[in-house]
Amino acid sequence: MQSLKVKIYIAGHTGLVGSAVLKELTRKGYKNLVFKSSKELDLKNQKETEVFFKKERPEYVFLCAAKVGGILANSSYPAQFIYENLAIQNNVIHFSYKYGARKLLFLGSSCIYPKLAVQPIKENSLLSGYLEETNKPYAVAKIAGITMCQSYNAQYKTNFISAMPTNLYGPGDRFDAETSHVIPALLLNFHRAKKENKKFAVVWGTGKPRREFLYIEDLAKALVFLMKFYNGPDIINVGTGEDISIKELAYIIKEVVGFKGSIRFDASKPDGTPRKLLDVSNIRSLGWQPEIPLEEGLKKEYRWFLKNYARK
Ligand code: GDP
């Protein structure tokens, strides 16, 4: 991506990641960006996807299109999570190869690692143990995508790289009490509790699991950076290298929202994996690091929520 004129396709440009990548590429001055909404192009459909690639022949592909969701969405819709992700990535990776893309970046997730991986999790712990059950169908699809990129590189000499981001958050998140990830779910939950003058708000699980969170604009910068400078066959972690407990997170979000009531933990809801902290020494040694601290990112996301969601 040395020239600003190269043709870049952002698959999934309306999602949390894709929209941030599109914004970052535009900010950097790339002029030949291609994107289609899922209404115009269904990436699960092999024929439609081939017609698109044959016509557009993008040189660089950011594969950010995916079916994603929080812990409950994953366990409620396991079939959709495995089918849709396999179908999308199968089509985009294969046709990127067939129509000559110079490079593709596949987006994985930190849930591809074994549930009890040694922390912080190194890239080479992939496939070294059992997966967390709550998001296994999603994780298996993502592992298939990684293996597909590596296999195409080995057999067809493509340059398809895979980045594994930690839990993401920021403007563009989906706010839904049932299917969101923890940060948007708690922003929404505490916001409602504040409006309704509730005495307490309920947080799922024991509060003990630990998670690492990366602000979406930091991720977008990392992905553009990797597309430019990383060509290795191995997957590469993208995170902050720091984690906090869900309990600590809940108290910070309570402050950010300004909810005055108390917090109750509902241990009947799943905790998921106990800890998920990435070892980010590889991307750091290449020269990338995040810029936005958690509290600042949460404040930005809450402002965005107030503007875009609160009145709906
Ligand atoms: P995970 O990282 O794949 O487990 O995804 P989530 O973001 O859905 O959940 C992270 C952690 O936050 C889990 O331990 C959840 O039990 C906990 N959590 C607490 N309250 C909520 C909530 O309202 N929604 C979600 N999604 N998770 C919550």
Q: pLDDT tens digit string along 101-129?
A: 999 999 999 999 999 999 999 999 999 99
The verdict on pTM exceeding 0.75 is: yes
Query: Looking at the domain assignment, is residue 307 inside a domain?
Result: no
Mean pLDDT over residues 43-60, rounded? 98
Residue identifier of the C-alpha nearest atom 23 of ligand 1:
185
- The pLDDT value recorded for residue 131 is 96
**Structural domain of 55:** 8-170+213-241+276-292
Mean pLDDT over residues 273-300, rounded? 97
Question: Which residue in 138, 152, 215, 230 is the catalytic one?
Answer: 138
- The pLDDT value recorded for residue 309 is 85
Tokens of 149: 């990129």
Residue identifier of the C-alpha nearest atom 22 of ligand 1:
182
> Binning pLDDT at 50, 70 and 90, where does residue 311 land?
low
Rounded Cα distance, 260 and 202, in Å: 13
Tokens of 200: 């307490």
Distance 253 CA to ligand 1 centre (A): 14
Q: End-to-end CA distance of the chain, in Å?
A: 40
Query: Looking at the domain assignment, is residue 98 inside a domain?
Result: yes
> Binning pLDDT at 50, 70 and 90, where does residue 46 land?
very high
Residue identifier of the C-alpha nearest atom 19 of ligand 1:
204
Q: Which amino acid is at 136?
A: K
CA distances from 210 to 166, 244, 273 (A): 12, 5, 8
Q: Which residues of 232-266 are buried (b: 16+ CB within 10 A; e: fewer)?
A: eeebbbbbbbebbebbebbeebbebbebeeebebe
Domain total for the chain?
Answer: 1
> Binning pLDDT at 50, 70 and 90, where does residue 312 land?
low
Confidence check: pLDDT of 310 > 80: no
In this structure, the residues whose C-beta lies within 6 A of any atom of ligand 1 are: 70-71, 111, 135, 167, 180-182, 185-186, 189, 203-205, 209, 211, 246, 269-272
Rounded Cα distance, 13 and 93, in Å: 17
Query: Looking at the domain assignment, is residue 57 inside a domain?
Result: yes
Query: Looking at the domain assignment, is residue 187 inside a domain?
Result: no
What's the CATH code of the domain at 283? Answer: 3.40.50.720
Query: Looking at the domain assignment, is residue 40 inside a domain?
Result: yes
Rounded Cα distance, 172 and 158, in Å: 32
Mean pLDDT over residues 134-155, rounded? 97
Query: Looking at the domain assignment, is residue 84 inside a domain?
Result: yes
Please indicate whether residue 251 is annotated as part of the active site.
no
Confidence check: pLDDT of 90 > 70: yes
